[in-house]
Structure 1
Amino acid sequence: MSPPIHPDVRIGHVHLKVSDLERSLAFYCEVLGFQLTQRYGTQAAFVSAGGYHHHIGLNTWESRGGKAPPRGNTGLFHVAILYPDRASLAEALRRLIQNKIPLDGASDHGVSEALYLHDPDGNGLELYVDRAPSLWPRSSSGELSMTTEPLDLDALLAEAPPQS
């Protein structure tokens, strides 16, 4: 058996095919709050949190004016965006509500709390916060025991920082 991958490996950035770059930039920057770091004319743009070169690439190279793939096809299920704390996830929820962006679901997985939605091109998104590993549910034998329970959105919203 091959040795496992190095434990410090992380998944870095994602590039999404979009049909309308301006619409996608409005969603990722104005609704979710990412910052534009670079543009390649009218065909591509890169956005990030905290000044990183990019967390998300948006491009229309093969998809300008295109449609989302139909259900039942292979492809990306969702991109998971990790928030640093529960208050930040609560602020994200407030932004979604203010912009009338519907949720597809909201779950407490024991190890994390997550909001599920789609971007304007139908790309799945998970906005989530991890719990401390010491709080993760475990079986009697010590194995991870993730769950899927409803997330209390009102309790989450109550943790959002005051609006300025």
Structure 2
Amino acid sequence: MAQGSSSPGDDAGNLDKTFREWQDDGSSEVATLGGVYGGANGVNHMVLNVRDMEKSHDFWTRVMRLEHCGTQGGPGQPRFLRFYRSHGHTHHDIALSPAKDPDSLPIPTGPLQTPGLNHFAWTYPDLETWKQQVRHVVDTGYPIQFRMEHGMSQSLYVRDPDGTVVEMMYEFPEERWNENIEAALEYRRVLDIDNDPDYFDPKPEDMPLFDENGLAEAS
């Protein structure tokens, strides 16, 4: 596996060389540049084709509480997009575009087993902000699919008006899961809104902790 320098100052200069070497040697492994896989910073934004622009606008602004920060074109125009962001330090996180033939698109139900997007996740900066969002969604009466504790996050799942599953997550501090990522990814616990006291108020000290042997005692 070809590797670039671990020095941040060297990464940019070695990026093209590193990936040429990786591609040329036929390796199936991912080249790393200072621990960054693929050289990208992560997902920047998503564009969703929607059946009903107004229903989707209501979901993203009222339920998810995103800001409608811009519009390109207008209804009936060849290029019509609405842009939304979760905070004031990004241009947009998602955009909505009307589907050309919405009546021909089936609404997903049950487990998603068709090719394409399964779900995507929104992350919140701290546990308290995430808990406020969970409570807000419940208070709106919007249908909830389920609430789950993963090995690396607390998560609430809903479907948008087109049936796309949207996850709202608080990611645990890295030291709780990074020592054994495989075990953390395998762990999950479904919470019951009516019977589980952790549904709205999970305690940091009770969240999963993983060591080299797997799930450890929380601390």
**Shorter-normalised TM range:** 0.7 to 0.9
2:90 paired with 1:49: no
Residue 7 (structure 1) shift:
5.9
Output the CA distance in 2 between the equivalents of 1:105 and 1:152: 8
From 13, 18, 31, the counterpart of 1:3: 31
Output the CA distance in 2 between the equivalents of 1:82 and 1:143: 18
Residue 158 of structure 2 aligns with an amino acid whose one-letter code is L
Mapping 1:67-146, distance limit 5 Å: 67-68=106-107, 72-136=113-177, 138=179, 142=180, 144-146=182-184
Normalising by structure 2, report the TM-score.
Answer: 0.63
CA, structure 1 residues 116+23, in 2 after alignment: closer, same or farther (shift >3 Å)? same
Larger Rg: 2
Structure having greater relative contact order (Cα 8 Å, sep ≥ 6):
1
Q: CA contact under 8 A between 2:51 and 2:102: conserved in structure 1? A: yes
CA, structure 1 residues 118+69, in 2 after alignment: closer, same or farther (shift >3 Å)? closer
From 26, 30, 39, the counterpart of 2:71: 39
Output the CA distance in 2 between the equivalents of 1:19 and 1:125: 17
User: Structure 1 stretches of 5 or more lacking a match?
Assistant: 160-164
Residue 6 (structure 1) shift:
4.4
Normalising by structure 1, report the TM-score.
Answer: 0.82
Residue 49 of structure 1 aligns with an amino acid whose one-letter code is S
* Equivalent residue, structure 1, for 2:188: 148
Q: Percent identity?
A: 24
Residue 9 (structure 1) shift:
2.1
User: Structure 2 stretches of 5 or more lacking a match?
Assistant: 1-26, 203-219
Q: CA contact under 8 A between 1:19 and 1:67: conserved in structure 2? A: no
Measured on the aligned residues, the alpha-carbon RMSD in Å equals 2.4
Residue 30 (structure 1) shift:
1.2
CA, structure 1 residues 63+48, in 2 after alignment: closer, same or farther (shift >3 Å)? farther
